[in-house]
Chain A
């Protein structure tokens, strides 16, 4: 069979476009789903006026954000201010490049792997990008030249160093079990039994850490609307605020997908097609995040530090030791 690069490139571009479209649409509808679910938790109905059952609400929100004034404070650091929202949203969507979201399919004689790039250091790529994502928060907070934004940015950075370590360490046992940094290999290693069975502790640590990573409610201290107005995005308006917002929800989808990949066996699952399994698992995590938001109050700044440094990190280290010991015994 002769490989024709044109078809390959076309398929790749189509895949890229699909992923972009699906992720952005899903993020927009996740906002809607969150508003509806939170409303139900609070015995309300939520937005149900725009379109049938409120399904066109994301579109209305988009139009509203796009037509609003794009305000830049007079004392702001102009270029950093304009750059920061993109720096928050782009790493989130880039991370999805390494997530395998389905079994490879064959289209017109070409085998198409259902992921964008199969990096052999996919896991490190994710850790690197999640560290970069906080620059959007920090720079946005700095460039706004407002005390609330600055405090939000500082909190974002302080939060990063407290959970990033435990997040990275909680993934080490996954790598030890799969013997690879590639996410495809990690998914393949869970063909029979997902890693959550072997690593429940690592799963819980990872779940808590990704909640902090996407700045969701028990750990939303960079935003903390009760204390800091809106934290790092206080001074943002219009679509720049929208980018921060959408970035947060893309982050939820991507981190949910990663949690599914690392611990729940990715797209593996009985009866249903792989793509459906992956979507279900990802959305289950999204639902869990929304549920958490409706349940838990915000932690204090020092409580997060305490949790990250004194509880999660030692536990993750212990988990690595036990896993290594167990692997040495069984091999």
Chain B
């Protein structure tokens, strides 16, 4: 009885392989066919701008602190009006593991992942992206978010004039 079962099992295996032989391969022929990545696919990192065209990045170093492979580096600087920006910003894509922790850490939504996965280079030094390579003229995923409208007190607007912010209470006139 067990021999009959064994033969049945082996024949079943042969049947499975034969069926797969006649099935369409799942391979995507890469250079000719390209798969369309999902919108949240994590690949090449960009630095976005706010809706008014200013740089979102405030050089807070949170992304470089979050980066598990230390591929992010920058130097903070300050404009005359007190608005912070990165004097230089560098991502070494030869070390980047595209984990997305930098984008998650970013409080201003400046650093974002794009679905552009085709960033192979002949020379490894070309994978070191400087700020001008990273900065794009767009808002990326959150097109209406402007960090300084929420938190830019005394930099872009006086106290009490930001979004979702009530004017400060004058304690001297505040009577019960």
Residues of A at the B interface (CB closer than 8 Å) are 37, 39-45, 291-292, 294-296
Name the A residues within 8 Å of B26 (CB-CB): 43-44
Q: Nearest-CB distance from B11 to chain A (Å)? A: 10
Return the chain A residue nearest B13 by Cβ. Answer: A295
**Roughly how many angstroms separate A39 CA and B26 CA in the complex, as a whole number?**
11
CB-defined contacts of A37 to chain B, threshold 8 Å: 21
B10 within 8 A of A: yes
What is the number of residues of chain B that contact chain A, defined by CB distance less than 8 Å?
Answer: 13
- B79 is an interface residue with CB less than 8 A from chain A: no
For residue B15, which residue of chain A has the nearest CB? A295
The 25 sampled A-B contact pairs (Cβ below 8 Å) are A37-B21, A39-B25, A40-B20, A40-B21, A40-B23, A40-B25, A41-B20, A42-B20, A43-B23, A43-B25, A43-B26, A43-B27, A44-B25, A44-B26, A45-B25, A291-B14, A291-B21, A292-B14, A294-B17, A294-B21, A295-B10, A295-B13, A295-B16, A295-B17, A296-B10
Judge if B18 is at the interface, Cβ distance under 8 Å.
yes
Contacts of B17 in A (CB 8 A): 41, 291, 294-295
* Given A44-B25, A291-B17, 19 new contacts (CB under 8 A): A40-B21, A40-B23, A40-B25, A41-B20, A42-B20, A43-B20, A43-B23, A43-B26, A44-B26, A45-B25, A45-B27, A45-B29, A291-B18, A292-B14, A294-B17, A295-B14, A295-B16, A295-B17, A296-B13
Q: Mark B4-42, 1 if CB is under 8 A from A, else 0.
A: 000000100110111011010111010000000000000
Interface of B is mostly: helix
Cα distance A269–B58 in the bound complex, in angstroms: 83
Question: Measured between C-beta atoms, what is the minimum distance from B4 to chain A in Å?
Answer: 15
Residue of A nearest to B12 (CB): A295
A130 to B20, CA, bound (A): 34
Nearest chain B CB to A216 CB, angstrom units: 14
Find chain A residues with CB under 8 A from B10 CB.
295-296
Across chains A and B, which 10 residue pairs bring their CB atoms closest together, nearest first?
A295-B17, A45-B27, A45-B25, A40-B21, A294-B17, A41-B17, A43-B26, A295-B13, A41-B20, A41-B21
